[in-house]
Amino acid sequence: MTRKGMHMARPRNNIESLIFEEGATVEVTETNTPVSDYFGRLTFSGDVMLKRLPPDVAMSLAGTIMQGQPLNPMVANTVAGAMKDWALENGATHFCHWFHPLTGSTAEKHDAFLSVNGDGVAIEKFSGNSLIVGEPDASSFPSGGIRDTYEARGYTAWDANSPAFLLTTTDGVTTLCIPTAFASYTGEALDMKTPLIRSVQAVAKQAARILKVFGTDEDVTQVVGTLGCEQEYFLIDQDLFRERLDLVICGRTLIGATPPKGHQLDDHYFGAIPSRVLSYMTEVETRLFELGVPVKTRHNEVAPGQYELAPTFEKTNVAVDHQMVTMHILKDVARKHGFECLIHEKPFAGINGSGKHNNWSLSTDTGVNLFEPKAETHNNLQFLVFLCAVIRAVDKNAELLRASIASAGNDHRLGANEAPPAIMSVFLGEMLTDIIDQLEAGKPRKTVKGGTLDLHADTLSDVPRHAGDRNRTSPFAFTGNKFEFRAVGSTAAVAWPTTVLNTIVAESLDFMAGKLEKEVGKKPTPAKLDAAARSLLKDVIKEHRRVCFDGDGYSAEWAKEAAKRGLPNIRNAAESLPTLKSRLATSLFSKYGVLSARELKARGEVLLEQYCTNLEIEGRTLSTIIHTQVLPAALRAQAELADVVGATQVAGVECPDTEEDLRTLVGRISEMRTGINEVEAALEAPAKNPETHAKWLRTELIPAMDRTRAACDWIESRIPNELWPMPTYAQMLLVGR
């Protein structure tokens, strides 16, 4: 990927233009191929597609991709042939339909291109039919009761909107992956993608009605959803990872004494990226660029060993596929660099966990962002309608939005003093809050401006100042021209929270559009529209502004204030997930054609079952670690201390302090045993149904695990280092990068 060349650089700043003016030339030697040369190299899209498909087929496919036209099955054979040749030339031997089952990760079943015909001659074959549909066995995927184990048939269907890509493992095996939707024989969705696509359709349709009312729909063929997901993760040394059964099995540490230094000094955040980590990040980015993922930002996060990656936003469906690929590549490349990439929401207690900020917006296919406030925001009534539709959606559906991010892992973040609280609220910032105030009081007259920031140093330029500060404690923040859903967990398959968000906003836009259409009637005038919009906004603000909060979301006062405002504060997934069964949720999802009652119920059950299963696995892992690693080490330490006490006393010397140490240690070991007995008892309880079982595990298992851990961590911090049977927090987080 190196190319040498010399060319005249264009001046980039004042100093360079000065040099130019004086007649000097600046020569730049390029040693790296520009990213744009290999960006998307491994995807069947753009130039690759144009070069390999006949123009009419390329046009037809582009119509599906760019304008959402139905897929013409007649083109499938030609596309399949071209895709096969391209894949073979790039070293692939197999293809797979790549989909997002309800497990929360991705699934793929590989088939060889190789076929042997009747004469025993081997040929390379890939038909249009194999491109469009697949028929994987659906019985071993979670279906939430839609399918029984003996009812195996399921189908995958090509999603032409998301480019097929060539995934190469770090060992060099290449597979053609075709993004697909996954449904059961009964036609019901068994995946994350199908409802996501339906939800984008729903929200786009309602948004288009608003544009029509405002007369801004000229040249607009469709509204599209946009999404950009920031991904936080930890890197630890792989050798250390392998010695931690809890990390290997559960993705998080179940025990571990807090090291003396965590992130108290804030010296890791945005710090210089360690060299080995930067090499890793560079390889991750190169591989993602080739796969068409527009990775943009990288930096150290708050906790030691924690990092972040963010792409440029894309159309929702593609962004979601790219997010899944990103998690895969992060993990895959880590192993090559001797790291393990931990994506769990809370790998280490006592220091920050990881989230995934979902930046969400709507835009027209002509490139207008519908959440762009513009300069004189108070007069931008269309924007204010969109904004207030989201405020209304979050307030009306706070419990559902909360449920969309509920998982055993995310329970460690939400409500802890580091991540957005479990109370759903909307941050607007000073400028918008001021406009909302004005709207509520009457006709808004001004937009607060940020002005500039004078740093009082002659050589530093003035900084343009935003009209409002940032707030990192809000679960759902307006950040300039998009909303940022920050409460999403780092392991989440983003399709689901995005589906929920799209659906609740679709309902809200439907409501707003209905009111406006009725008020302006068949003969709209600007004055009628103006009056109708202002009165609607006023009503919506009055009813729903309780959900807006710009203060400190971590504070105890906010929890109290939120309770006063009647906002739900659902602290854990066991309490939250049953919301998916509510009548409100069921009618909402079916009204907008996103999920049928049965599909939604199935999802609720799968999520509850996953919650229970994760907790049970954690409980059993803790039990194994305590019995086979911690207890033997603790007893050895006990024996050593007892020997010291015995030997000292035989020598005729009293040693009350050491005796006391021994007594305390024995006491803690006993507490740990009691704790783990309670854990095991909680695991034995019969599961009547997923809902009551989830609550049982929440109230019985988790506290017992916490008690066990407290005793265990004390033991770890007191017994001799060489007896401790696994890497410590300090070793994993602070050493060896």
Using CB atoms within 10 A of its CB, is residue 412 exposed (0-12), middle (13-18) or buried (19+)? buried
Residue 592, CB-side half-sphere exposure with 13 Å CA sphere: 32
Report in angstroms how near the CB of residue 331 gets to ligand ADP at its nearest: 20
Angle (deg, nearest 10), helices 526-544 and 381-396: 30
Q: Which is nearer to ligand ADP, 364 or 708 (CB)?
A: 364
Alpha-carbon 351 to chain mean position: 20
| Partner that binds at residue 361, options ligand ADP, Mg ion, none, CB closer than 5 to 8 Å by kind | ligand ADP
| Partner that binds at residue 490, options Mg ion, ligand ADP, none, CB closer than 5 to 8 Å by kind | none
| Partner that binds at residue 311, options ligand ADP, Mg ion, none, CB closer than 5 to 8 Å by kind | ligand ADP
| Partner that binds at residue 346, options Mg ion, ligand ADP, none, CB closer than 5 to 8 Å by kind | none
Q: Which is nearer to ligand ADP, 230 or 237 (CB)?
A: 230
Q: Which of 60, 228, 90, 89 is nearest to 160 (CA)?
A: 60
Report in angstroms how near the CB of residue 383 gets to ligand ADP at its nearest: 13
Residue numbers at the binding site for Mg ion (CB under 5 A): 357
**Separation CA 436–CA 444 (nearest Å):** 8
> Using CB atoms, what's the residue nearest to Mg ion?
357
Using CB atoms within 10 A of its CB, is residue 441 exposed (0-12), middle (13-18) or buried (19+)? exposed
| Partner that binds at residue 297, options Mg ion, ligand ADP, none, CB closer than 5 to 8 Å by kind | ligand ADP
Alpha-carbon 408 to chain mean position: 15
Report in angstroms how near the CB of residue 297 gets to ligand ADP at its nearest: 5
Q: Which is nearer to ligand ADP, 141 or 313 (CB)?
A: 313
Report in angstroms how near the CB of residue 100 gets to ligand ADP at its nearest: 20
| Partner that binds at residue 481, options ligand ADP, Mg ion, none, CB closer than 5 to 8 Å by kind | ligand ADP
Q: Which is nearer to Mg ion, 357 or 668 (CB)?
A: 357
Report in angstroms how near the CB of residue 558 gets to ligand ADP at its nearest: 21
Report in angstroms how near the CB of residue 421 gets to Mg ion at its nearest: 17
Report in angstroms how near the CB of residue 232 gets to Mg ion at its nearest: 10
Q: Which is nearer to ligand ADP, 505 or 536 (CB)?
A: 505
Under DSSP, is residue 220 helix (H, G, I), strand (E, B) or coil?
coil
Q: Which is nearer to ligand ADP, 329 or 349 (CB)?
A: 329
Which run of H or E residues covers position 23? none
Report in angstroms how near the CB of residue 233 gets to ligand ADP at its nearest: 14
Q: Which is nearer to Mg ion, 357 or 412 (CB)?
A: 357
Q: Which is nearer to ligand ADP, 340 or 484 (CB)?
A: 484
Report in angstroms how near the CB of residue 550 gets to ligand ADP at its nearest: 16
- Main-chain dihedrals φ then ψ at residue 638, nearest 5 degrees: -60, -45
**Separation CA 579–CA 582 (nearest Å):** 5
DSSP state letter for 626: I
| Partner that binds at residue 482, options ligand ADP, Mg ion, none, CB closer than 5 to 8 Å by kind | ligand ADP
Residue numbers at the binding site for ligand ADP (CB under 6 A): 226-228, 230, 297, 310-313, 357, 359-361, 369, 479, 481-482, 484
> Using CB atoms, what's the residue nearest to ligand ADP?
228
Q: Which is nearer to ligand ADP, 359 or 447 (CB)?
A: 359
Give the DSSP per-residue string, 590-633.
HHTTS--HHHHHHHHHHHHHHHHHHHHHHHHHHHHHIIIIIHHH
| Partner that binds at residue 386, options ligand ADP, Mg ion, none, CB closer than 5 to 8 Å by kind | none
**Separation CA 3–CA 28 (nearest Å):** 13
Contacts of 45 (CB under 8 A, 6+ apart): 65, 163, 292
Report in angstroms how near the CB of residue 578 gets to ligand ADP at its nearest: 31
Q: Which of 141, 135, 132, 147 is nearest to 109 (CA)?
A: 135
Alpha-carbon 647 to chain mean position: 58
For residue 38, CA distances in Å to 43, 44, 47, 139, 198 come to 10, 13, 11, 40, 32
Under DSSP, is residue 93 helix (H, G, I), strand (E, B) or coil?
strand
Q: Which is nearer to ligand ADP, 234 or 696 (CB)?
A: 234
* CA distance between the termini of the chain: 27
**Separation CA 366–CA 605 (nearest Å):** 40
| Partner that binds at residue 404, options Mg ion, ligand ADP, none, CB closer than 5 to 8 Å by kind | none
